[in-house]
Chains A and B, each alone.
Chain A
Amino acid sequence: MPEENPPLRPLIPGITAQFPQDVTVLPRRKDMLAVLKVTPARVAEVAKYLRDVGSFEHCALVSGVDWVDHLEVLYHLWSDSLKGYIELTVDLPSEDPHVPSVTEIWRGANWHERETWDMLGVRFDGHPDLRRVLMPEGYQFHPLRKSFELHEPEELEVKARHV
């Protein structure tokens, strides 16, 4: 068990008792109140618990990282009473990643999830309107995947001419 954080003392044991199979407490970084690893299926429930019991009323950020062999989705939640952030991380497979949406819980997560779908191709189940937000509709790639590489425009033109 990593060292505990006083403001979170009632919350962390509570959450591990509530979701014993699904929540692992990761070593704490100094810029976070806590880092929790959650299994994909229970994300929405853990999030709801954190909002209702833990008073994390502000979903600051939903983002993702491509680790080539798997994807990681990150949630950063802010609590006005604890004055700090908590980080949830979720590991997903790179092929056809699915995770429940938290838009029902925080409406503010809506566009963050759309952006994560746009940039990394993570599907958020139950999202009301999962469209691309930054790239135009019909774009075929997810640019923040590591398999998507940048080129000088000239190189691309050369390639296009060869095709």
Chain B
Amino acid sequence: MTHGLWNLRIKVDGELIVDADPEIGYLHRGIEKICEYRRYNEVVTLMDRTCYVAGIAWEQLYIMAAEGALGLSPPARAEYIRVLSQELQRLSSHIMWYAAYVQDIGLMTPFLYGMRDRDLILDLFQSYTGARMTYEFMRVGGVRNDVPVGFTDRCRKVMDWLDQRIPEYEKVCDNSTIFLDRTKGIGILKAKECLNDGITGPMLRAAGVARDIRRDRPYSVYPELDFDIALYDEPDCYGRYRVRMEEMKQSVRIVRQVLDWLDRNPGPVLAEKVPRFVGTPSPPPGKETYVERRGYPKGRGFSSMEEPHGEAMAYIINEGAEHPYRAKLRSPVFVNIAASKDYLVGYRVSDIPAIMGSVDVCVGESDR
């Protein structure tokens, strides 16, 4: 399931695919254009909806670029809460992928397993952001609110539960002949081609290239956390599945570390000197810390991060106005679909669901 519609035109010779031409844009919602009409904090609403399985990742991506453009930095606790959200989101996104993908291949149980466990993670999100999918949680200069009392314990319980569940997910797939037959040796894209095609994320790491923006160009507080990059040396559908499973285990590990930190270090979660125009319009009287509306330094902000689907980038140009002059988003899925000709040609028509599912297509993100 790709939760979103796109079109794949293929040329076949009997059952063999000889040419493929993907066509997207059925969910093009003009997000980059609407951003130019919104205040900095109002844009966050759109970012959630850009990639709806990993909303909070895109929120942080945008916020990091906007903070770069405005020259702000958030307090440490906010950074940790952001990283916590990132990793929970990676878990829920990969579980969603697992639920949908393995169902497409022909096993029904994973959908029920996956949806059940994903709901547990969404419950956690709901307890501190108030929403299941579209959070509107991050702010320029921090996050909206702290995690509630007792959250860390609840979160630990869910992580313990996932520790048991993830091996079980693997068991379902690895013991299934159908799954192995349909994924092993299918949809191969070698490392060299991956690099040339600009492919990122689990697809690239399944080909054995250890590029993970969290490690290579660390953002937020990732340098202080201990985790491994999930790698696999077979660039087929099965390898991508293994990489995602391994990433989930690493995410659980990161979440545990962040929870320990949060327990030890209370503090503010929003920077003091946030310019008022970024958020609510009128400055409270007598507060000189707020920077004047006009005359805020112009600048360009750039951020890149390891989103569940791959390398996402945001580029924001601030011209001193209340809203971004230009907001450009790079979606990993956009590039990964673009290369689909390279990993579809030579396989059979019946392999298409298995191959395209392993890319983890999120159309909201590729079309923006």
Contact = CB atoms under 8 A, between A and B. Distances in A.
Touch test A–B (CB under 8 Å): yes
Contact of B313 (A60, A109, A115, A134): A60
A69 interface: no
B30 A143 contact: yes
Interface string B110-143: 0000000000000000000000000000000000
B328 A111 contact: no
Interface string B167-211: 000000000000000000000000000011111100000000101
Nearest to A66: B326
Contacts of B216: 80, 83
A1 B368 CA distance: 39
Interface string B339-368: 100100000000000000000000000011
27 contacts: A29-B300, A29-B302, A32-B302, A60-B311, A60-B330, A61-B313, A63-B330, A65-B325, A65-B326, A74-B328, A76-B330, A80-B211, A80-B216, A84-B217, A85-B217, A106-B198, A107-B339, A108-B197, A108-B199, A108-B339, A119-B32, A133-B24, A134-B28, A135-B25, A136-B25, A144-B326, A150-B37
A96 interface: no
A111 B337 CA distance: 9
Contacts of A31: 68, 301-303
A150 B34 contact: yes
A59 interface: yes
B66 to A, nearest CB: 13
Contacts of B335: 108, 111-112
B315 interface: yes
Contacts of B325: 65
Top 6 A-B residue pairs of the complex, sorted by shortest distance between their CB atoms: A108-B198, A111-B338, A134-B25, A134-B28, A63-B328, A31-B302
Interface of A: 29, 31-32, 57-61, 63, 65-66, 74, 76, 78, 80, 83-85, 87, 106-112, 115, 119, 132-136, 143-144, 148, 150
Size category of the binding interface on chain B: 35 or more
Contact of A76 (B32, B301, B313): B313
Contacts of A148: 33
A85 B211 CA distance: 13
A105 to B, nearest CB: 9
A111 B368 CA distance: 14
Contacts of A85: 217, 302, 304
Given A106-B198, A108-B196, A144-B33, A83 B217 contact: yes
